[in-house]
Structure 1
Amino acid sequence: MDFELKTLTLPQATDVAADALILLWPDRADADADANTDLAQWARAAVADADIEQAVGSVLLAHRLPGVQARKVALVRSGDGSPAATRKAVLAAMAALKLGSAQRLLLWAGDVSAGALAALLQATAEASYSYTHTKPKAKARTLQSVTVGVRDAAALQAALAQAQACVKGVEWAKEWANRPPNHATPTRLAEAAQQLAQGKRLQVEVLGPQEVAKLGMGAYLAVAQGSQEPLRFIVLKYQGAPKASAPVVLVGKGITFDTGGISLKPGPEMDEMKFDMGGAAAVLGTFVALAELQPALNVIGLVPCCENMPDGRAVKPGDVVTSLSGQTIEILNTDAEGRLILCDALTYAARFKPRALIDVATLTGACVIALGNLRAGLYSNRDELAQALQAAGDATLDPCWRMPLDDEYEEGLKSNFADMANIAGRPAGSVTAAKFLQKFVAPEQAWAHLDIAGVAWKSGASKGATGRPVALLLQYLLDEAARMAKESVPMPKAAAAGAKRGKR
């Protein structure tokens, strides 16, 4: 889908040929400079006559309005014009329009902020996305172009570029997470990662079982040994800064299907376990966006992929394995497998000497119980990193919530037969999972863990992947690039001299 940003007044918007026009109508619209146009007067009359409610997302449809080129018009209340209100309004308008075979959409947003523009693009893409990879008779998305009319297009070009890149990354993540497990095996996911690098500023290396065994990733190997599908460890490198610049390392859990292993999951809804590679999809989707925007920082992506199957060779409850760190792990539950592949990837990440290390995983059902489907769980050993991630999530409507990491939570991970067990008891299950991962991160390393089990997919009638938290990760990386650029700006001579005198 192509997005175009145009400087348009409301009278000009009426002359644009389109299949449909969405007219965002914020609470402040009554004072709008275009309020005397026929279209604006129709909208104001609808508001005055209470033909449309005041609540954000209320929609009034019209067909063949005189003087308007677009065949359908959707007037939608957008409240204070905030990103959250804009997103809700666009989703409501798209649902009401039922665009069907429409190819051209005009969305008039007027005085829209950069954040609201990003929310607008994401909502439009979300509402028009359709999965067709294994549905040959299904209709693909017909919407080809979306023109966004604003007061000042030039002022929003940078925001448009970022939003478009984010949409691409989110849709890539959704597409691969939605694919059936026999169409998104570790091998196929690795091949997709290799294709991402073609013609882009990306390097991709793929390690197989022999290379992983040679490294000594015993925990990762233990999870994969019950499957006939060979594991694939994907290493991506994006270089936007000098080689000497420490990278941000993203680690994504890539369990392409999770039966639970010998600790078998219940049958109902087990099909949703194809989404257990949501962390991997999000990391790869973030690299899609990075390749588009090419910010000035270095980023490493580590994506351990495998299946968790109950074969005769599968790891058993009570087995003890040795991780890449040298620490031994008693596997009390084979369904706590994500932390086993992540712990070896976190140890591997240390070789890159990261400025920040962030892992992303559909890790625990306990996090869903704690936070539901709105916010991801955030764990971090650094306040500054946690605050940066939370701010990025809030800015992109991809929110997370910081959870505790008290040392006392480690008590449940004690084992009589190994350095640690891979699970603790039921209480605070997402916290103890994070404490397990923390054991594989050096204390001096800035680290964060995002448990996305509640936000990576939707169940029920709207079952499917969400693409989260690509938007959060991308915003954090762009913010980090901006911080790095600010740190590298030379201090003015007078200020430098004053700072030098102050040290004496």
Structure 2
Amino acid sequence: MKFAATAQSPYGIKCDCLVEFVNKNGINAIAKDTPTAVTQAINHLRQQGDLSESAHARMVYPEGEASAKRILVVPVEFELKANSPAHTTGKHLSGIANTIAKAISDYPIKDLVIHFDDRFMHSAPLSDQDGVRDAQVFTAALLNAVYKSDAFKGKETQDKNKKKLKSLPGLAKVTLATQDAELKDVKQGLVQGEAVGLGMITARNLGDAPPNICNPQYFTAEAKKLAKKHPKLTVKVLGEKELKALGAGAYLAVTQGSANPPQLITMEYKGGKASDKPICFVGKGLTFDSGGISIKPGAGMDEMKYDMCGAGSVMGVMQAAAELKLPINIVGAIAAAENMPASNATRPGDIVTTMSGQTVEILNTDAEGRLVLCDTLTYVQDKFKPQVVINMATLTGACIVALGHHTAAVMGNTPELTQELQELSLKVNDPIWELPLWSEYTDDLKSPFADIPNIAGGRGAGTIIAGCYLQKFIKDVPWAHLDIAGVAWNSGAAKGATGRPVHLLMQYLFKQLDTKPASDKAAGPAVRKRKPTARKTTVKK
């Protein structure tokens, strides 16, 4: 699949479909070069009353001379709102991408041209618009909206899907037609958005893979495949023997009932100066979580294959960063494990010694994510001396009770970091919201027999308590914890992994590069140096 950006008029490009954005009164006045054939087609919809902002996209066929075989008319809100939050822009652009993907899915469309004019695609004031970010958000969202995974379907089903053109290979080229003044920004955002979108797809594919395929060893194999493609990326794996030698008693307690041994995988990307401390991302990678002896209810247990989505997002970020050749040092750590009941499995009441030396009383074996994470956090801090640590995990069902399925939770020890992440999350429609880690909650983590228990006594504030537990293993380094339990996957008819929070984490990396002093940027962000031409994208199924 090829992406391109051009300042050529969208009305002069031959294509299977042109996407045009209109308000309820017809095409926006900015587009003064609209040909008669296009205007007539849109006016017909307006006369029929089909252009309200709540209306669905409409496919029309222009009469007379037109470079596009079809025109997809997408009603949007154009009014510039003085206090429009950034979240409105990101959410709006993602919604437009989803609308387009849904509307073209039943048509034989291979060449798509989108009239991408940043001035009227969303409702944010002109002073708040960001052409790079908007193109990035739109491109990543479109990639994910069009993509359909059928990797584990039978051949007959795969062939049928290809014939319907509902999988990614059906759409061969997407061109964003913008204005001269915006072309440079749109091209840069397109390159970024493509890498982000494909990183999200990688995270989704890992999440959707069945647990008999995607086990800890599978994660290791995928990490090594990625490293072979990128010379600046190296992989190191700690198995059961190495973890025992390091004293990772909490990590090993989770895995001892499983036939699949643990794999603590670190991916080190060296794109910056050798003296620069890395940014470290840590992902919970429970490839299946039965709950162990504290076993989960049978209904819905199949979705516990998604308990590795934090690790999947780390893989997606490392892929995107390496593809863009970002001039920054990054470490991605994956705590891969499987939590199963067995005669030798950890029991409620067992006490283990963590890599940090602290002892933990395991009161509930289903609170296992924090056990693998605490040893992994200790390891990466000691090994890599990072400047920042951000971990993400499908950690608590309590997070869904608190925030539902729209927003993830963020907690941390540095207000500047958590606030920055929250602000960035709204801009790219990958929202998070901060919860407090106050001492009153930490006081609930007390055990009469060990230094700390892995759960508190009551049911309240479960998400915060888990964050307080992890904080006990953080040294003198800025740290943020993302609980993505409510947003990592969808249930029901649209069941599947979402790829969150890959976009947020990549936006955080872009922000760090933008705010670096000029002397520290080396040659500058690679995305700004690359020649922004049409690029061919291949997505493995």
TM-score (norm. length: structure 2): 0.85
In structure 2, what is the equivalent of residue 110 of structure 1? 117
What is the aligned-residue identity percentage? Answer: 39
- Is the counterpart of residue 158 in structure 1 residue 174 in structure 2? no
In structure 1, what is the equivalent of residue 123 of structure 2? none
5 Å-filtered alignment, 1:41-440, equals 41-42=39-40, 45-46=43-44, 48-49=46-47, 51-55=49-53, 58-63=56-61, 65-80=63-78, 82-99=89-106, 101-111=108-118, 113-136=131-154, 137-138=157-158, 139-140=161-162, 141=167, 142-152=170-180, 153-200=183-230, 201-351=232-382, 352-424=384-456, 425-440=458-473
- Is the counterpart of residue 445 in structure 1 residue 477 in structure 2? yes
Q: 1:57, 1:479 → 2: CA distance?
A: 36
Q: C-alpha offsets along residues 373-410 of structure 1, whole Å, 9 cap, x if unaligned?
A: 11110001111111221122122111111111101102
Pick aligned residue for 1:479 from 483, 494, 511: 511
Cα root mean square deviation, aligned: 2.1
Deviation at 1:334, TM superposition (A): 0.6
SS in 1 for 2:392: strand
User: Match of 2:12, as an amino acid?
Assistant: Q
Q: 1:46, 1:430 → 2: CA distance?
A: 53
- Is the counterpart of residue 470 in structure 1 residue 502 in structure 2? yes
Q: Does the 8 Å CA contact 1:57/1:92 hold for their aligned counterparts?
A: no
Q: Does the 8 Å CA contact 1:260/1:308 hold for their aligned counterparts?
A: yes
Q: C-alpha offsets along residues 259-301 of structure 1, whole Å, 9 cap, x if unaligned?
A: 1111111111111111110000001100011011122221111
- Which shows bigger deviation, 54-63 or 341-350? 54-63
Q: C-alpha offsets along residues 134-178 of structure 1, whole Å, 9 cap, x if unaligned?
A: 113322522222222222333422211111110111111111111
Q: 2:58, 2:98 → 1: CA distance?
A: 14
User: Match of 2:58, as an amino acid?
Assistant: L
Deviation at 1:246, TM superposition (A): 1.0
Q: 1:433, 1:79 → 2: CA distance?
A: 42
Q: 1:377, 1:116 → 2: CA distance?
A: 24
Deviation at 1:7, TM superposition (A): 1.9
Q: 1:283, 1:228 → 2: CA distance?
A: 25
Q: 2:55, 2:346 → 1: CA distance?
A: 51
CA gap of 1:330–1:29, structure 2 versus 1, over 3 A, is: same
Deviation at 1:50, TM superposition (A): 5.5
CA gap of 1:151–1:298, structure 2 versus 1, over 3 A, is: same
5 Å-filtered alignment, 1:27-42, equals 29-34=27-32, 36-42=34-40
User: Match of 2:404, as an amino acid?
Assistant: G
Q: C-alpha offsets along residues 81-122 of structure 1, whole Å, 9 cap, x if unaligned?
A: 933322212312321333355333222223463332223212
Q: Does the 8 Å CA contact 1:231/1:307 hold for their aligned counterparts?
A: yes
Q: 2:408, 2:171 → 1: CA distance?
A: 31
CA gap of 1:272–1:489, structure 2 versus 1, over 3 A, is: closer
Q: 1:191, 1:459 → 2: CA distance?
A: 28
Report which structure shows greater RCO (CA 8 Å, sep ≥6): 2
CA gap of 1:268–1:65, structure 2 versus 1, over 3 A, is: farther
- Which shows bigger deviation, 91-100 or 250-259? 91-100
SS in 1 for 2:443: helix
Q: C-alpha offsets along residues 63-86 of structure 1, whole Å, 9 cap, x if unaligned?
A: 464433433321002324933322
Deviation at 1:35, TM superposition (A): 5.3
Q: Does the 8 Å CA contact 1:178/1:464 hold for their aligned counterparts?
A: yes
SS in 1 for 2:152: coil
- Gaps of at least 5 residues in structure 2 are 81-88, 120-130, 523-541
In structure 2, what is the equivalent of residue 5 of structure 1? 5
Q: 1:45, 1:63 → 2: CA distance?
A: 12
Q: C-alpha offsets along residues 308-346 of structure 1, whole Å, 9 cap, x if unaligned?
A: 101111111111111100101111111110000000011
Q: 1:43, 1:426 → 2: CA distance?
A: 59
Deviation at 1:429, TM superposition (A): 0.5
Q: 2:488, 2:63 → 1: CA distance?
A: 41
In structure 2, what is the equivalent of residue 499 of structure 1? none
CA gap of 1:50–1:401, structure 2 versus 1, over 3 A, is: farther
Q: Does the 8 Å CA contact 1:376/1:452 hold for their aligned counterparts?
A: yes
- Which shows bigger deviation, 274-283 or 102-111? 102-111
Deviation at 1:189, TM superposition (A): 1.1
Q: Does the 8 Å CA contact 1:77/1:89 hold for their aligned counterparts?
A: no
Q: Does the 8 Å CA contact 2:40/2:62 hold for their aligned counterparts?
A: no
- Which shows bigger deviation, 330-339 or 57-66? 57-66
CA gap of 1:489–1:271, structure 2 versus 1, over 3 A, is: closer
Q: Does the 8 Å CA contact 1:9/1:110 hold for their aligned counterparts?
A: no
Q: 2:37, 2:214 → 1: CA distance?
A: 48
Q: C-alpha offsets along residues 411-442 of structure 1, whole Å, 9 cap, x if unaligned?
A: 22211111111011210100000000000001
Q: C-alpha offsets along residues 358-383 of structure 1, whole Å, 9 cap, x if unaligned?
A: 10101011111111111110001111
In structure 2, what is the equivalent of residue 498 of structure 1? none
Deviation at 1:239, TM superposition (A): 0.9
User: Match of 1:267, as an amino acid?
Assistant: G
- Is the counterpart of residue 24 in structure 1 residue 25 in structure 2? no
- Gaps of at least 5 residues in structure 1 are 491-504
